[in-house]
Amino acid sequence: MELTVGEIVSHFSVTLDNEELIPYGNGHINETYVVGKKKKYILQRINTNVFSDPKVMMDNIIAVTAHLRKKIAVTGGDPDRETLTPIYTKEGKPYLIAEDGKCYRMYLFVEALCFDRVENAHQLYHAARAFGRFQRYLDDFSADVLHEVIPRFHDTPNRFAQLTEAIRENRVGRLADVQAEVDFALSREADTHIVVDAIAAGEVPLRVTHNDTKLNNVMFDAKTGEGLCVIDLDTVMPGSLLYDFGDALRFGANAGDEDELDLSKIYFRMDCFEEFARGFIEELGDTLTPHEIELLPFSVKLMTYECGIRFLADHLNGDTYFRVHREGHNLDRCRTQFALVADIEKRMDDMKAIVARCLAERRA
The burial class, CB within 10 Å (0-12 / 13-18 / 19+), for 101 is: exposed
How far apart CA 337 and CA 313 sit, in angstroms, is 13
Give pLDDT, residue 220.
Answer: 97
pLDDT at position 2: 64
Proportion of the chain above pLDDT 70, given as a percent: 99
* Residue pLDDT, tens place only, 90-101: 999 999 999 888
pLDDT band for position 261 (cuts 50, 70, 90): very high
Residue 100 has a pLDDT of: 85
Tell me, what amino acid is at 331? L
44: enclosing H helix or E strand: strand 41-46
Q: For 2-11, 33-42, 109-118, 147-156, which range has the lowest pLDDT when averaged over its residues?
A: 2-11
Going along the chain from its start, the domains and CATH numbers come out as: 5-108 (3.30.200.20), 121-363 (3.90.1200.10)
Q: Mean pLDDT over all residues of the chain?
A: 94
Q: Quick check: 61 and 84 in contact, CB under 8 A?
A: yes
- Is residue 28 predicted with pLDDT exceeding 90? no
pLDDT by residue (tens digit) across 75-89?
999 999 999 999 999
Percent of all residues in the chain with a pLDDT value above 90, rounded to a whole number: 86
Q: Is 313 exposed, middle or buried (0-12, 13-18, 19+ CB in 10 A)?
A: buried
Query: Minimal CA–CA distance to 130: which of 61, 205, 219, 65?
Result: 219
155 DSSP 8-state letter: -
pTM: 0.91
Report the pLDDT averaged over residues 230-247: 96
Q: Using one digit for the tens of pLDDT, what is the confidence trace for 300-349?
A: 999 999 999 999 999 999 999 888 999 999 999 999 999 999 999 999 99
